Amino acid sequence: MTEEEINRIQSEINARPIEDFDNLSPADMHFLIHTPFSKESIIQFKQKPKKEKLDKIGFLNLIEYLLKILKEENEITLTKWNNINTKLATEIYHKKFTDELVIVLKKRKIYKQDDMLSLQNAMIILNKLTKITKVRKNKMSLTKKGIVISEQANRTELLQTLFNSYGTQLNWSYHDGYSDDYQIQSTFGYILYLLLKYGKEERSANFYAKKIDKAFPQIKDQFHSNWSTPEKQLKSCLSVRCFERFLEWFNFISVRRIKGEIGIDDTFIKNNLLEDFLSLNTNNFKFKKSKFYA
Protein backbone atom coordinates (compact mmCIF):
# COMPACT_ATOMS: atom_id res chain seq x y z
CA MET A 1 0.00 0.00 0.00
CA THR A 2 1.39 3.38 -0.99
CA GLU A 3 1.71 6.37 1.31
CA GLU A 4 -0.92 8.14 -0.77
CA GLU A 5 -3.38 5.29 -0.23
CA ILE A 6 -2.65 5.23 3.51
CA ASN A 7 -3.28 8.99 3.74
CA ARG A 8 -6.52 8.63 1.80
CA ILE A 9 -7.79 5.89 4.10
CA GLN A 10 -6.78 7.88 7.18
CA SER A 11 -8.58 10.94 5.83
CA GLU A 12 -11.71 8.88 5.24
CA ILE A 13 -11.56 7.53 8.81
CA ASN A 14 -11.13 11.03 10.25
CA ALA A 15 -14.14 12.25 8.25
CA ARG A 16 -16.56 9.51 9.27
CA PRO A 17 -19.34 10.50 11.70
CA ILE A 18 -19.01 8.83 15.11
CA GLU A 19 -22.21 8.10 17.00
CA ASP A 20 -20.54 8.62 20.39
CA PHE A 21 -19.44 12.08 19.18
CA ASP A 22 -23.06 13.05 18.46
CA ASN A 23 -22.33 12.23 14.80
CA LEU A 24 -19.32 14.52 14.55
CA SER A 25 -16.22 13.16 12.89
CA PRO A 26 -12.83 12.78 14.63
CA ALA A 27 -11.61 15.73 12.56
CA ASP A 28 -14.50 17.91 13.73
CA MET A 29 -13.86 16.93 17.34
CA HIS A 30 -10.13 17.60 17.01
CA PHE A 31 -10.71 21.27 16.23
CA LEU A 32 -13.41 21.62 18.91
CA ILE A 33 -11.05 20.28 21.56
CA HIS A 34 -7.80 21.95 20.53
CA THR A 35 -8.79 25.17 18.70
CA PRO A 36 -12.54 25.70 19.18
CA PHE A 37 -12.58 29.18 17.59
CA SER A 38 -10.10 28.65 14.75
CA LYS A 39 -11.15 29.21 11.15
CA GLU A 40 -11.29 25.41 10.68
CA SER A 41 -13.65 24.85 13.63
CA ILE A 42 -17.38 24.31 13.21
CA ILE A 43 -17.95 27.00 15.87
CA GLN A 44 -17.49 30.60 14.78
CA PHE A 45 -17.94 33.98 16.43
CA LYS A 46 -20.51 36.24 14.79
CA GLN A 47 -18.67 39.35 13.71
CA LYS A 48 -21.32 42.06 14.02
CA PRO A 49 -23.46 41.48 17.13
CA LYS A 50 -25.95 44.18 18.03
CA LYS A 51 -25.00 46.76 20.66
CA GLU A 52 -28.12 46.02 22.72
CA LYS A 53 -27.05 42.38 22.92
CA LEU A 54 -23.54 43.31 24.06
CA ASP A 55 -25.09 45.51 26.73
CA LYS A 56 -26.75 42.44 28.25
CA ILE A 57 -23.56 40.46 28.82
CA GLY A 58 -22.98 40.73 32.55
CA PHE A 59 -19.35 39.65 32.71
CA LEU A 60 -18.44 41.95 29.80
CA ASN A 61 -20.15 44.84 31.59
CA LEU A 62 -18.13 44.07 34.74
CA ILE A 63 -14.87 44.16 32.78
CA GLU A 64 -15.89 47.35 30.97
CA TYR A 65 -16.71 49.02 34.27
CA LEU A 66 -13.18 48.38 35.51
CA LEU A 67 -11.68 49.54 32.22
CA LYS A 68 -13.78 52.73 32.33
CA ILE A 69 -12.40 53.59 35.76
CA LEU A 70 -8.86 52.95 34.55
CA LYS A 71 -9.34 55.20 31.52
CA GLU A 72 -10.78 58.01 33.65
CA GLU A 73 -8.41 57.75 36.62
CA ASN A 74 -5.33 56.16 34.94
CA GLU A 75 -4.97 53.60 37.73
CA ILE A 76 -6.72 51.76 40.55
CA THR A 77 -5.04 51.44 43.94
CA LEU A 78 -5.09 47.81 45.08
CA THR A 79 -4.58 46.19 48.48
CA LYS A 80 -1.20 44.81 49.52
CA TRP A 81 -2.39 41.48 48.06
CA ASN A 82 -3.04 43.20 44.69
CA ASN A 83 -6.80 42.82 45.11
CA ILE A 84 -9.58 45.33 44.46
CA ASN A 85 -10.09 47.52 47.54
CA THR A 86 -13.20 47.22 49.73
CA LYS A 87 -14.83 50.43 48.47
CA LEU A 88 -14.66 49.43 44.81
CA ALA A 89 -15.54 45.78 45.54
CA THR A 90 -18.70 46.92 47.34
CA GLU A 91 -19.53 49.29 44.49
CA ILE A 92 -19.21 46.46 41.95
CA TYR A 93 -21.31 44.16 44.14
CA HIS A 94 -24.22 46.62 44.13
CA LYS A 95 -24.02 46.97 40.33
CA LYS A 96 -25.15 43.30 40.05
CA PHE A 97 -23.32 42.68 36.80
CA THR A 98 -23.59 38.89 36.94
CA ASP A 99 -26.03 36.29 38.24
CA GLU A 100 -23.52 35.05 40.79
CA LEU A 101 -25.46 33.51 43.67
CA VAL A 102 -23.85 35.72 46.31
CA ILE A 103 -25.28 38.70 44.41
CA VAL A 104 -28.69 37.25 43.57
CA LEU A 105 -29.65 35.73 46.92
CA LYS A 106 -29.61 38.77 49.20
CA LYS A 107 -27.76 41.95 49.95
CA ARG A 108 -24.74 41.59 52.21
CA LYS A 109 -21.68 43.50 53.20
CA ILE A 110 -18.75 42.97 50.88
CA TYR A 111 -15.31 43.39 52.40
CA LYS A 112 -12.95 42.07 49.77
CA GLN A 113 -12.52 40.96 46.17
CA ASP A 114 -12.59 37.30 47.20
CA ASP A 115 -16.24 37.62 48.28
CA MET A 116 -17.21 37.57 44.58
CA LEU A 117 -15.93 34.79 42.33
CA SER A 118 -16.85 36.70 39.19
CA LEU A 119 -14.68 39.64 40.28
CA GLN A 120 -11.80 37.30 41.13
CA ASN A 121 -11.99 35.77 37.67
CA ALA A 122 -12.22 39.19 36.02
CA MET A 123 -8.98 40.26 37.71
CA ILE A 124 -7.17 37.06 36.73
CA ILE A 125 -8.25 37.42 33.12
CA LEU A 126 -7.37 41.11 32.91
CA ASN A 127 -4.00 41.01 34.68
CA LYS A 128 -2.64 37.54 33.96
CA LEU A 129 -4.27 35.92 30.94
CA THR A 130 -5.07 38.66 28.44
CA LYS A 131 -2.58 41.32 29.67
CA ILE A 132 -5.20 43.99 29.09
CA THR A 133 -4.08 45.50 32.40
CA LYS A 134 -0.92 45.36 34.47
CA VAL A 135 -0.11 45.69 38.16
CA ARG A 136 2.95 47.56 39.43
CA LYS A 137 3.49 48.42 43.10
CA ASN A 138 -0.14 47.77 44.00
CA LYS A 139 -1.36 49.98 41.15
CA MET A 140 -3.50 48.55 38.35
CA SER A 141 -3.41 50.30 34.98
CA LEU A 142 -4.12 49.70 31.31
CA THR A 143 -1.49 48.25 28.99
CA LYS A 144 -1.12 49.49 25.41
CA LYS A 145 -3.27 46.56 24.35
CA GLY A 146 -5.83 47.50 27.00
CA ILE A 147 -6.05 51.10 25.82
CA VAL A 148 -6.90 49.94 22.29
CA ILE A 149 -9.27 47.09 23.10
CA SER A 150 -11.21 49.17 25.63
CA GLU A 151 -12.43 51.55 22.92
CA GLN A 152 -16.15 51.27 22.22
CA ALA A 153 -15.46 50.40 18.60
CA ASN A 154 -13.61 47.29 19.79
CA ARG A 155 -16.29 45.84 22.08
CA THR A 156 -16.77 42.74 19.94
CA GLU A 157 -13.03 42.02 19.99
CA LEU A 158 -13.00 42.55 23.76
CA LEU A 159 -15.88 40.12 24.23
CA GLN A 160 -14.26 37.46 22.05
CA THR A 161 -10.95 37.87 23.90
CA LEU A 162 -12.63 37.53 27.29
CA PHE A 163 -14.78 34.58 26.27
CA ASN A 164 -11.91 32.69 24.68
CA SER A 165 -9.69 33.32 27.68
CA TYR A 166 -12.40 32.29 30.14
CA GLY A 167 -13.11 29.10 28.21
CA THR A 168 -9.61 27.93 27.36
CA GLN A 169 -7.13 29.59 29.75
CA LEU A 170 -8.80 30.34 33.08
CA ASN A 171 -8.65 27.34 35.42
CA TRP A 172 -12.32 26.41 35.98
CA SER A 173 -11.40 24.24 38.98
CA TYR A 174 -9.96 27.19 40.90
CA HIS A 175 -13.05 27.75 43.08
CA ASP A 176 -14.31 24.25 43.88
CA GLY A 177 -13.32 20.99 45.48
CA TYR A 178 -14.03 18.54 42.67
CA SER A 179 -11.21 16.15 41.86
CA ASP A 180 -11.33 16.65 38.08
CA ASP A 181 -8.81 19.35 37.25
CA TYR A 182 -9.05 20.02 33.55
CA GLN A 183 -10.76 17.26 31.60
CA ILE A 184 -14.24 18.78 31.63
CA GLN A 185 -12.77 22.12 30.59
CA SER A 186 -10.93 20.44 27.71
CA THR A 187 -14.34 19.60 26.19
CA PHE A 188 -15.37 23.28 26.16
CA GLY A 189 -15.75 23.47 22.37
CA TYR A 190 -17.87 20.32 22.36
CA ILE A 191 -20.07 21.77 25.13
CA LEU A 192 -20.68 24.85 22.98
CA TYR A 193 -21.50 22.64 20.00
CA LEU A 194 -24.07 20.73 22.09
CA LEU A 195 -25.65 23.94 23.37
CA LEU A 196 -25.89 25.41 19.87
CA LYS A 197 -27.51 22.21 18.63
CA TYR A 198 -29.82 21.38 21.53
CA GLY A 199 -30.06 24.55 23.62
CA LYS A 200 -33.16 26.08 22.03
CA GLU A 201 -35.19 23.83 24.32
CA GLU A 202 -34.69 23.67 28.07
CA ARG A 203 -32.77 20.51 28.91
CA SER A 204 -31.36 19.05 32.10
CA ALA A 205 -27.67 19.48 32.86
CA ASN A 206 -27.72 15.70 33.06
CA PHE A 207 -28.60 15.60 29.34
CA TYR A 208 -25.34 17.38 28.49
CA ALA A 209 -23.35 15.39 31.06
CA LYS A 210 -24.45 12.14 29.43
CA LYS A 211 -23.41 13.44 26.00
CA ILE A 212 -19.96 14.31 27.37
CA ASP A 213 -19.70 10.98 29.16
CA LYS A 214 -20.52 9.12 25.95
CA ALA A 215 -17.86 11.00 23.98
CA PHE A 216 -15.25 11.03 26.76
CA PRO A 217 -16.00 8.14 29.16
CA GLN A 218 -12.61 8.49 30.83
CA ILE A 219 -13.62 11.78 32.48
CA LYS A 220 -15.86 10.25 35.12
CA ASP A 221 -12.94 8.08 36.25
CA GLN A 222 -11.48 11.25 37.79
CA PHE A 223 -14.32 11.46 40.30
CA HIS A 224 -14.07 9.45 43.50
CA SER A 225 -16.47 9.92 46.39
CA ASN A 226 -18.42 7.90 48.92
CA TRP A 227 -21.39 10.25 48.79
CA SER A 228 -22.21 10.20 45.08
CA THR A 229 -21.68 8.27 41.86
CA PRO A 230 -19.04 9.40 39.30
CA GLU A 231 -21.87 10.16 36.84
CA LYS A 232 -23.64 12.47 39.32
CA GLN A 233 -20.39 14.19 40.24
CA LEU A 234 -19.57 14.77 36.58
CA LYS A 235 -22.99 16.37 36.09
CA SER A 236 -22.66 18.51 39.19
CA CYS A 237 -19.13 19.62 38.29
CA LEU A 238 -20.22 20.52 34.76
CA SER A 239 -23.17 22.50 36.10
CA VAL A 240 -21.12 24.50 38.58
CA ARG A 241 -17.99 25.15 36.53
CA CYS A 242 -19.34 25.70 33.05
CA PHE A 243 -23.03 26.57 33.27
CA GLU A 244 -23.43 28.46 36.55
CA ARG A 245 -20.00 30.10 36.96
CA PHE A 246 -19.27 30.90 33.36
CA LEU A 247 -21.91 30.82 30.63
CA GLU A 248 -24.67 32.16 32.85
CA TRP A 249 -22.44 35.06 33.91
CA PHE A 250 -22.13 35.96 30.22
CA ASN A 251 -25.94 35.58 29.88
CA PHE A 252 -25.27 33.12 27.07
CA ILE A 253 -27.58 30.63 28.80
CA SER A 254 -30.31 30.75 31.42
CA VAL A 255 -30.15 28.31 34.31
CA ARG A 256 -33.07 27.03 36.37
CA ARG A 257 -32.20 25.18 39.55
CA ILE A 258 -34.29 22.42 41.11
CA LYS A 259 -33.76 21.98 44.84
CA GLY A 260 -33.60 18.50 46.32
CA GLU A 261 -33.45 17.26 49.88
CA ILE A 262 -29.70 17.86 50.20
CA GLY A 263 -29.14 20.82 47.90
CA ILE A 264 -29.47 21.36 44.17
CA ASP A 265 -30.92 18.21 42.61
CA ASP A 266 -30.44 19.34 39.01
CA THR A 267 -30.18 22.40 36.81
CA PHE A 268 -31.98 23.02 33.54
CA ILE A 269 -30.30 24.87 30.71
CA LYS A 270 -31.67 26.94 27.85
CA ASN A 271 -29.83 29.22 25.46
CA ASN A 272 -30.17 32.93 26.11
CA LEU A 273 -27.73 35.14 24.17
CA LEU A 274 -25.50 32.30 22.94
CA GLU A 275 -26.77 32.28 19.36
CA ASP A 276 -26.40 36.06 19.12
CA PHE A 277 -22.63 35.65 19.37
CA LEU A 278 -21.78 32.10 18.24
CA SER A 279 -22.93 29.93 15.37
CA LEU A 280 -22.30 26.53 13.80
CA ASN A 281 -20.59 26.91 10.45
CA THR A 282 -22.02 24.03 8.43
CA ASN A 283 -19.41 24.55 5.70
CA ASN A 284 -16.70 23.52 8.16
CA PHE A 285 -18.10 20.09 8.97
CA LYS A 286 -15.50 17.56 7.84
CA PHE A 287 -17.94 14.86 6.73
CA LYS A 288 -20.66 14.82 4.14
CA LYS A 289 -23.83 15.31 6.12
CA SER A 290 -27.28 13.94 5.58
CA LYS A 291 -30.43 15.02 7.34
CA PHE A 292 -29.63 12.47 10.07
CA TYR A 293 -26.36 14.10 11.05
CA ALA A 294 -25.48 17.15 13.14
pLDDT tens-digit profile of 59-118?
999 999 999 999 999 999 999 999 999 999 999 998 999 988 776 665 667 778 988 999
- What are the strands, taking DSSP E only, across the chain? 43-45, 76-77, 133-136, 139-142, 203-204, 253-260, 263-271, 278-280
Specify the pLDDT at position 14: 66
The backbone torsions φ and ψ at residue 244, rounded to the nearest 5 degrees and listed phi first, read -85, -35
For residues 278 and 46, the answer to whether their CB atoms sit within 8 Å is yes
| Burial profile 135-155: b = 16 or more Cβ within 10 angstroms, e = fewer | beeeebebeeebeebbeeeeb
Specify the pLDDT at position 99: 85
Specify the pLDDT at position 293: 41
The pTM score is 0.90
24 DSSP 8-state letter: B
The ranges of the chain with pLDDT < 70 are 1-15, 103-108, 180-181, 260-265, 287-294
The backbone torsions φ and ψ at residue 45, rounded to the nearest 5 degrees and listed phi first, read -70, 140
